[in-house]
Amino acid sequence: MSRRAVLLGVTGVATGCSSSGGRAATPTPTSGTPTAAPTGGTPAPSSAPTLPTVTTWAPDPGDVQPQVKQRAVTLVSALGAWPPGGQGPAAARARLAALGFAPELADRAGPLLSQAPQAVLEVVDAQYGGILDDTASVLVVCRRWTRAEDGAVTADGSTVDVRLSRASPVWTVTTLYPSDPGPAAASLSAQATRILADSRITLPPAATADVRAGAVHASVLTALETLAAEHTIDVSVLRSGHPINVFGTTRPSDHPRGRAVDVWRIDGRSVVNPATPRALVEGFMRAGAAAGSYNVGGPYQLSGAAFFSDPTHRDHVHLGFAT
C-alpha cells in the first residue's frame, strides 16, 4: 500500500503510520529475546516483552501541502521515540538539532518526553487543524510504547498540534501543543462506556482519554453510535489536541468544548485518499447532519446550510454540535 513501509530510523528515531487504504492491526508487545542494546543503553531482561515493530508514516497522494505534514510528523517522531539510552530532554534537543529543528522545541514536548530508556512511536494519522497560505496547524495523532528499566512495556499516546510557518526550503515549526485530556472521571455514563467498547469506533489514545474524562458531549457520543450502526469509524480528534480557535480566526472551535469529532477513515477508506469513493464520503457527511451536526465539513461542498468545505477539511470529515 502507498502509506505502509517497513520501520526506518532517522538519526536513531523510529517513526510510524497507518495506511491510507486500511490501518494495520495495532502493534502489540510480544514475548521474546530482544537484541542487545547499544553501548549506553539498558538491556531488557530476556523474558521481557519486546517493543512492537511499527510502520513509517508517509503523506497520501491527496494531501494538501504534503511536505508540511511530513515536517510535523518528523518533529513529533523525533521527540516521542528514541533508541536505548536516548531518553531525556538533552537527547531530544540533540535529535531535533540534527534534523534542522530548533532544539528549544523540546522544552514544549511535555508528555512526549519520558525517562524510559527506549521508546517507539506510531503516527496513526496526520490531519490539518488548519492550512493557510503561510501558516498551518498539523494534528499528529500518535500511539507510543516505552520500555522501563526493568523491561516492562507501557503503551500511551497523544495528539500534538504542531504549528508551522512557510519558509524555504522547508516550512518552519514554530511551536507545538501536546494534548492534555485531564484525569479520568470517577464514573462514566452508560453511553460513554458503550463508545469505548464499540469495535466499530476506533479512538486514538487522546480521544479515548477525552471520553474517559467525561469531556465529550452526549450529542457527539450519540452521533457516533448512530453512524457506527452503518459504518466503521476511525476518529482522529475529539477534544484534546485541537486548536482552541478555528485556525486563523478568533472564533472558538467546538472541539475544545467537547462538541465536535473529526473522522479520518470510513469503512476502512481514508477520507483524503483519491481512490475512496466520493459517494461514501458524501453519504457519511449527510448522515452526520441527519445525526444532529449543524456544522459538517469535508472534502466536498454539499448543498445545504450545514455543509462546508475548504483545504483544511480535505483530509477528514468534521462534525460539530451546537447542543
In this structure, which amino acid lies at residue 31?
S
Reading the chain (323 residues) residue by residue, the pLDDT tens digits are 433 333 333 333 333 333 333 333 334 333 332 333 333 444 555 556 789 999 899 999 999 999 999 999 999 999 999 999 999 999 999 999 999 999 999 999 999 999 999 999 999 999 999 999 999 999 999 999 999 999 999 999 999 999 999 999 999 999 999 999 999 999 999 999 999 999 999 999 999 999 999 999 999 999 999 999 999 999 999 999 999 999 999 999 999 999 999 999 999 999 999 999 999 999 999 999 999 999 999 999 999 999 999 999 999 999 999 98
- Which residues, in sequence order, are CB contacts of 241 under 8 Å at separation 6+? 139, 141, 158, 159, 160, 161, 177, 178, 179, 206
Residue among 320, 275, 278, 269 nearest 299 (CA):
278
Give yes or no for a contact between 53 and 7, defined as CB atoms under 8 angstroms apart.
yes
Q: Identify the structural domains of the chain with CATH numbers, from first to last.
A: 9-178 (3.10.450), 190-320 (3.30.1380)
Q: What is the predicted pLDDT for the residue at 291?
A: 98
pLDDT of residue 14: 39
pLDDT at residue 47 in the model: 59
- With residues binned 3-state (H G I as helix, E B as strand, rest as coil), the percentages for the chain, rounded to 5, are 25, 25, 50
Query: Which pLDDT score is estimated for 314?
Result: 97
User: Which pLDDT score, from 0 to 100, does residue 296 have?
Assistant: 98
Cα–Cα distance for residue pair 76/36, rounded to 1 Å: 26
Q: Is 106 helix (H, G, I), strand (E, B) or coil?
A: helix
At 76, phi and psi to the nearest 5?
Answer: -65, -40
| pLDDT of 163 | 98
According to the model, what pLDDT value does residue 323 have?
A: 82
Residue 98 φ then ψ, to 5°: -65, -25
Residue 301 CA to residue 177 CA, distance in Å, equals 30
Q: Where are the beta strands (DSSP E) in 166-272?
A: 172-178, 201-202, 233-237, 260-266, 269-270
Which pLDDT score is estimated for 16? 35
Question: What pLDDT was estimated at residue 49?
Answer: 77
How many CA atoms within 13 Å lie on the side-chain side of 60? 27
Closest CA to 242 of 215, 219, 280: 215
